[in-house]
Structure 1
Amino acid sequence: MLAFLKTLQYLGICLSALVAITIEKNSVPRADNVHWVSLDFKTILTWTIKASNYTYTVLYSEDDRDWEENPDCIRLREPECDLTNYLEAFDRVYSADIRTEPVTMDYDDILEELPHTYSPPFNPYRESNISAVKFTVAFADESSVIVNITEPLTGIHRQGKQLSIRDILKNDLKYKISYYKSGSSGKRDIISDSSLAEVSKLEAGDGYCFMVAAFIPSRPKNTQHGAWSVQLCANRGSNVLQELNLGAWVGVVFTLIVVLVITVTVTVLCCRCYQQRQSTHTSQTSAPI
């Protein structure tokens, strides 16, 4: 009977310790809502956390290989880790492990007991968003224009050079040019393989508006398009005054008003001065000797 009671006592102690460990483990804050934020191949892993005294260390893996630490993302207190310079092979699938750690810890004893949160897989080459491009439009002749696109720069630097999206995507990068005639709702699209494109068969004398976006047809459909540029309009058949926008017209009208006011003011002052001189001269010549 005594042995049985001792067994029950030991069992109670073990159960109590197990419950205490479980409660403590469940109270350790875990990283939540883990997702990748990537623009022009600058890639940051973000998550949400609860206020606590714990820190977070990020490990990453390429194509399910061994986990590696990012030296810049050890014992973080902020919920983000910049992995841009560590995802060097762009067309690979990466995963991240966000490990919760106390400020001081014995790695040998409790490392495996701490919670881990794993990210969804991410492929920079196929999923990084592309920002809006800038471009200019110049008329080549009466019925065609040349669209000159400035390719966005990435967050990647190699050998002292900041790479463009063309340096990474190479021949996979194309541009979609969307345009329409002023006053018309019908849009047309063309695809250009390079950053210099000709849009032809335009109607002479009509104005056209253009928008441009990076286009990567080899990607999944939801990431094929970059952000659309601002709209740029041009009119080949009009004279200079007709091409002015509202702001320019206001400036022209204001300038004309200022010139008119100055001219009238100068004319009035000159007339007054002339009248005063004539009056003085008449007074002098009519005075008695």
Structure 2
Amino acid sequence: METGNSLLLYLGVCLSVWTSSTAVENLDHQAENVRWVSLDFTSILTWTAPPSDYKYTVQFSMDEGDWMETLNCNRISETECDLSEQLQALDGSVSADIRTEPAAYDPSANVEDFPHTYSPVFNPYKQSNISAPTFTVEAVDDRRVIVNITDPLTTNHRRGKQMSIRDVLKNDLMYKIIYHKSGSTGKRDILSTTNVKEFMDLEAGHVYCFMVAAYVPLRPKDSRHGAWSTQLCSPPGDILQELGLGVWVGVFFILLTVIIIIVTVTVLCCRQRNRALQTTQSSRPV
């Protein structure tokens, strides 16, 4: 009986040593440098690890709740996991757990004995970067311009429709617009709560240039601004309207000078011709 107990004890010790050695070995391959990369609510968890046959399983927790499995990141070889569908741009604190597992699957193994690497806490609603919007500039008349902004799209879908950042952020989304006269260094900016903004009482005859970025004032300071768009300018106005008084005075004197020269040359040519005719007629024999 004692021999049997000793054998069981020996096997238990061996199993414990084997499990410990496997866990220590896994430590050399566990995930490191874990970070979140998120743009327009496409949120991807990334990490680094040396090349190996080890697998990685990712779980996540919302607001310190229960850990939930990610079906698309179960025993994967890649060092990134797309959590966009699971998070759906929720306004909550997300934590992720990356578990390093040996390549050979052992259903009897205690997964808690494997190395775990935890991510920084992340809130997609407040921290996801926003890409630059596209927009158009339409001149209504020589003093009014309309800027029409298109919301960037996300990779999330709701009821079969692809969502925009406006669908996610709703009334929290604003747009900051910078504008200035072409050729001028003086810039002004305004905030718009809608996608269409009309600029009135602009200086007639001038071209105005615009840049647009998403702005979410309720976010932390370092993530309120989205990326700035490329610059677009209003169509050039009527060239006649852009000419100032001084230019018009100069044009008038140039035209007057040209007319005087033409008249003078014409008169001189006519006189010279008349003289030539008179000389010819007087020299003919009678």
TM range (shorter): 0.7 to 0.9
Is 1:99 equivalent to 2:114 in the alignment? no
| Whole-Å separation in 2 of the counterparts to 1:87 and 1:146 | 36
Q: How far 1:200 moved relative to its partner?
A: 2.3
Q: CA deviation at 1:33?
A: 0.9
Correspondence for 2:87:
87
The answer as to whether partners of 1:206 and 1:235 remain within 8 angstroms in 2 is no
| Distance in 1 of aligned mates of 2:89 and 2:180 | 40
CA contact (8 A) 1:174 1:216 kept: yes
- Indicate the SS of the match to 1:167: helix
1:119-198 maps to which residues of 2 (within 5 A)?
Answer: 119-198=119-198
Q: Per the alignment, do residues 54 and 47 of structure 1 end up closer, same or farther by CA in structure 2, a change over 3 Å counting?
A: same
TM norm structure 1: 0.73
Match of 1:199 in 2: 199
Aligned to 2:238, what secondary structure does the other structure show?
coil
What is the alpha-carbon distance in structure 2 between the residues aligned to residue 78 and residue 147 of structure 1?
Answer: 43
Greater C-alpha Rg: 2
Does structure 2 retain, via aligned residues, the 8 Å contact 1:28–1:115?
no
Write the letter of the residue equivalent to 1:191. Answer: L
Which digits, 9 at most, give the CA deviation of each residue in 1:198-237, with x for residues without a partner? 1223111111111001111111111111111110112442
Structure 1 pair 90–190 and aligned structure 2 pair: CA distance change class (3 A): same
Q: What TM-score, normalized to structure 2?
A: 0.74
Q: Contact 2:23–2:113 at 8 Å: present in 1 too?
A: no
Q: How does 1:242-253 map to 2 (within 5 A)?
A: none
Distance 1:117 1:231 in 2: 43
Partner residue, 1:35: 35
Query: Are 2:213 and 1:213 aligned?
Result: yes
- Aligned-pair Cα RMSD in Å: 2.5
Counterpart CA distance in 1 for 2:234 and 2:136 is 10
Query: Is contact 1:25-1:114 (8 Å) kept?
Result: no
Shift of the 25–132 alpha-carbon distance from structure 1 to 2, 3 Å rule, reads: same
Task: Return the letter of the residue paired with 1:177.
Answer: I
Residue 67 of structure 2 aligns with which residue? 67
CA distance in 2: counterparts of 1:225 and 1:27, whole angstroms = 39
Residues 139 and 99 (structure 1 numbering): CA distance in 2 closer, same or farther, change over 3 Å?
Answer: same
Spell out the pairing of 1:4-23 with structure 2 (5 A cutoff). 17=17, 21=21
Deviations 1:178-207 (A, max 9, x none): 011111111100111000001223111111
Q: Give structure 1 regions of 4+ aligned residues with deviation exceeding 6 angstroms.
A: none
User: Which residue number corresponds to residue 118 of structure 1?
Assistant: 118
**C-alpha contact (below 8 Å) 1:46/1:79 kept by paired residues:** yes
CA distance in 2 between counterparts of 1:30 and 1:101 reads 8
**Partner AA of 1:229 in structure 2:** S
Q: How many residue pairs end up in the alignment? A: 229
AA in 1 matched with 2:163: L
Helix, strand or coil for the counterpart of 2:197?
strand
Q: Does the CA contact (< 8 Å) of 2:95 and 2:120 recur in 1?
A: yes
Partner residue, 2:4: none
